[in-house]
Amino acid sequence: MSKATDFFCEQSPDKVMIAMSGGVDSSFSARLVQQTGVACAGMFMKNWEESDDEFCPAEADADDARKVAAHLGLPLHTRNFAAEYWDEVFQGFLDEYRRGRTPNPDILCNREIKFKVFAEHAEDLGASHIATGHYARKKVLDGVHWLCRGADSNKDQSYFLYAISQQQLQRALFPIGGLAKPAVRELAQAAGIPVHAKRDSTGICFIGERKLRDFLARWLPPRRGDICLPNGQRIGVHQGAHYYTLGQRQGLGIGGVRGAAEAPWYVIGKDMEKNILFVSQNQTDNAIMSNQLEAESLTWISGEPPSGELRLSAKIRYRQADQECELSITGDRAQVSFSQPQWAATPGQSVVFYARDICLGGGIIDRTNAPAVT
């Protein structure tokens, strides 16, 4: 195990505020910060107002955070950022779905809530740095703070952090970034942390265990339309093209189709104007494969775009293997050309660029060169 102070990267901070969610990752992060001997405290943030606690168990998570803080002997602050989350994250989330795109709210939440609003409240309480339970690392080279992949390749979360700024990264600590998840659980158990065996949260908190379509229907009403084959043959009915994403195979509701094999169906295209969903049983249909994409809303960890020969690697989804690519940047847009065709590069999702273990930044996928289905 690495030394407890390895994650500082520089001189010890004056005081650290730990984002404590009630899960094992943030809880053991708090333990590691505490072991350094620096002044520290925890803060639990609530980002969503939901009357149905079955789907968003914020109070149960807050109770777990209190138990961990009591076990460690740490003061715990609580803050409600639901209004900020609604304005800075959720409204954009809905706008993207209205356009027929598939957003990733966790990325915006990190930039606008965890590393901005949370950090501002931490500063008000005297903290010079914040610590989170993300599986990521950072290093400082020539005065520039760089975001690096977490040591556990299966849990690396740098993809979700690419949009934070240089200033935000300078104040951030990732105590468990050098550890593997199984080790975190084992060490947390050995330290007697109450949530060492707690199940990892999955998906987006405000959606919880319910179906995405059912949740979105509260703000984006159903709009029935046709499900068609690429040749235009109608084979079913959907509840709204905005509910579906490229590559989706669950929840399509397609019954037996005469002449079709007993095999899964995949969404390969959408016509938002006509409200048509195109599907195929060929998972690698030409309509869903592309080797080029354009990205917008670019952000760079160093504050400046990379220069020189831009042969990098990229990911267009979390946990995807690195994909070799060439990058051409023009202002706030990028043209990305991949060495190999990519499956289901989805507008609204993020493409994130790497130089070996360093996450350089990324942008939002706007369009690809996949042939349109009409």
Structural domains of the chain ordered from first start:
6-190 (3.40.50.620), 222-280 (2.30.30.280), 289-368 (2.40.30.10)
Q: Where are the alpha helices (H) located in the chain, listed in sequence order?
A: 24-35, 58-72, 82-85, 91-98, 105-109, 118-124, 166-170, 181-190, 212-216
Catalytic machinery residues: 109, 205
| Max Cα-Cα span within the chain | 69
Whole-number pLDDT of residue 211: 77
Whole-number pLDDT of residue 2: 44
Rounded alpha-carbon distances, angstroms, from residue 4 to 11, 21, 29, 138, 360: 13, 21, 10, 15, 26
DSSP secondary structure code for residue 219 in this structure: T
Query: Across-strand partners of 291?
Result: none
Whole-number pLDDT of residue 49: 81
Whole-number pLDDT of residue 160: 97
Residues 6+ apart with CB under 8 A from 130: 16, 17, 18, 19, 114, 115, 118, 119, 122, 171, 172, 173
Q: What is the rounded distance in angstroms from the CA atom of residue 158 to the CA atom of residue 137?
A: 8
Whole-number pLDDT of residue 374: 72
Whole-number pLDDT of residue 372: 84
Q: What is the rounded distance in angstroms from the CA atom of residue 22 to the CA atom of residue 111?
A: 21
Backbone angles phi, psi at 160, to 5 degrees: -80, -5
Which residues in the chain show pLDDT less than 50? 1-4, 53
**Residue whose entry in the numeric block shows the structure tokens 């009403």:** 221
Confirm if 36 and 193 have CB atoms less than 8 A apart: no
